[in-house]
Amino acid sequence: MHETLAEIKNWSLDYVVTYPAEMITARARALLDFETANPERNVSKLEKIRALGLTPDGYEARLEQLVADVDVMAEYPELVYRYWNQRRGQASRR
């Protein structure tokens, strides 16, 4: 079935325009920049995470989501590499 020009003009742009799966939001970028500046896992970092209003588990869960995103991989390759190496090291010690 072919739509008429009038029908096409009535389409919502949400159906016509495709959006990227996920762009890096300002909040996500702030978290990634924080992680880049604070790579060590120590008490001082935990205090800073809590000062940001996050729990350490919530921070880690969000970071894990972010480093799996292709946009993050493209813009923060060193951070993603370091993160997965740390995870691999933790898994091998178990």
Reply yes or no on whether the pLDDT at 15 is more than 60.
Answer: no
Rg of the chain (C-alpha set): 20
Cα dist from 29 to 5, 20, 62, 66, 68, whole Å:
42, 17, 12, 9, 14
pTM here is 0.69
pLDDT in tens, 36-50: 999 988 999 999 999
φ and ψ of 27, to 5 deg: -65, -45
> How far, in Å, CA of 69 to CA of 88, rounded?
18
| Other CB atoms within 10 Å distance of the CB of residue 92 | 7
pLDDT in tens, 49-69: 999 889 999 999 999 999 999
The one-letter amino acid code at 28 reads A
